[in-house]
Amino acid sequence: MRFTTREEIEAPIDHVFGRLSDFAHLERMIMRRGVEVSRDNPGEPVEVGIRWTIGFKFRGKPRSAEIVLAKIQPPIGHLITFESGGIGGESQIELTPLSPTRTRLMVRVELTPQTLAARLLLQSIKLAKTNLNQRFKTRIADLAEDIEMDYSS
């Protein structure tokens, strides 16, 4: 299952990449939504191979996920892989400069079942894909708006 969206941001590519690579800020944003986040080796700089463990509730059950920064290419973007309960996947962020003060943000998240139970879970999620896709696009649009407001202030 794949979710994709793109947003155009009124900010230079370096600023957008800097905000999207501020993982400490992103960790705090996620924690405000009730998700437990812990980074392996929190004192080390962010580089390829850094890991996070997150805990959250999905459909009333506690779940956890392992997240790894697989690739980072300043200022083009990064690739994050994750695994949770038999579902693997990756999240790719790509930035394209449209002008010196305008950047296109493309976000792709792909989920892949690795077990029969995960395949059944993804099948049930597909029934709500329209709603989930809209929520995904709204969250990315909110993030883009925050980056624009940060740049303009």
Report pLDDT for 46: 83
Whether the full predicted model's pTM is greater than 0.75, yes or no, is yes
Report pLDDT for 121: 87
Question: If phi over 0 gives left and psi between -120 and 50 gives alpha, with beta otherwise, what is residue 116?
Answer: alpha
Report pLDDT for 153: 87
Report pLDDT for 114: 96
Out of 3.40.1710.10, 1.10.10.10, 3.40.50.970, 3.30.530.20, select the CATH number for domain 2-152. 3.30.530.20
Residue ranges in the chain whose pLDDT is less than 50: none
Query: What does the pLDDT look like over 70-96, one tens digit per residue?
Result: 999 999 999 999 999 899 999 999 999
Beta bridge partners of 105: 7, 95
What is the b/e burial string over 95-105, where b = at least 16 CB atoms within 10 angstroms of the residue's CB? beeeeeeebbb
Domain range list for the chain: 2-152
